[in-house]
Amino acid sequence: MNPTLWRRLLAEFTGTAMLVTAVVGSGVMATRLTDDIGLQLLENSVATAFALGALILTFGPVSGAHFNPVVSAADWFLGRRTGTGLPARDLAGYVVAQVAGAIGGSVLANLMFKLPAVDVATKDRTGSDLWLGEVVATAGLLLLIFALARSGRAAVAPAAVGAYIGAAYWFTSSTSFANPAVTIGRAFSDTFAGIAPGSVPGFVAAQLAGLVAGAGLLLALYPSVGSAAGDVLAPHPDDASRQLRNHGGTTR
């Protein structure tokens, strides 16, 4: 039996909050340690990648460790026909918990570094090049997560997802937000990782476009991907028998 909804929502709230705390906090620390922008980005990306992997390991068995409305929406959409993945009735709760957690994470990071609790970002991030970067980052993230689940390798998702996001900091023009909740949360901190509120809609729209592109590619490459939606990002303990059945095994 899966954990109750309130436990899963608490896990999504807490996990997303800690993720944004890691993103914002490491950005603040990086700017205080060095004036070299390249080194700042390296420090920020490494901390985020390691934190994300650890958080997926921590909260995956409870909620699936989505921490991202795009992942939750894809999980619902791809699994709706097979009855796997996130139920439609839970999707809104996941999104609300993720957005609230992201905002809380920014506030927490601000307070840890003696900044105003709510410090609206002023860093503009806009332009077709950045939006394209978000489409690529988001679509690639979905391809990775669901391909791992479909091929029975969900156990390596913590390391793989952390590695992908860490790398995407560098190969995308937008530094790979790839997450509407995190994007909204980062608007509440006027720091290295911040994004001005006026830039948020463009990023979120690009991420939703990445959702459509990623889902379309998944359906083309893995037509039966929906059957594995229940294993995203990390399988619940009671999913073990279903995984074995899907891959020809038996349980004892």
Average pLDDT value for residue range 162-175: 98
Average of per-residue pLDDT across 124-152: 96
Q: Is the pLDDT of residue 233 over 80?
A: no
Quote the DSSP letter at residue 176.
-
Taking the C-alpha atoms of residue 85 and residue 228, their distance in angstroms, rounded to an integer, is 8
- Closest of 64, 68, 22, 62 to residue 46, by C-alpha: 22
pTM above 0.85, yes or no: yes
pLDDT tens, residue by residue, 174-197: 999 999 999 999 999 999 999 999
pLDDT of residue 242 exceeding 70: no
Alpha carbons 136 and 132: distance in angstroms, whole number? 6
CATH architecture of residue range(s) 5-246: Up-down Bundle (1.20)
Domain segments of the chain: what residues?
5-246
Average pLDDT, the chain: 92
Q: How confident is the model at residue 241 (pLDDT cuts 50, 70, 90)?
A: very low
C-alpha to C-alpha distance for 125 and 130, rounded to whole angstroms: 7
Asked if the model's pLDDT at residue 251 lies above 80, the reply is no
| C-alpha pair distances (Å), 27 with each of 34, 186, 247 | 11, 11, 42
Which of the four pLDDT bands, split at 50, 70 and 90, describes residue 26?
very high
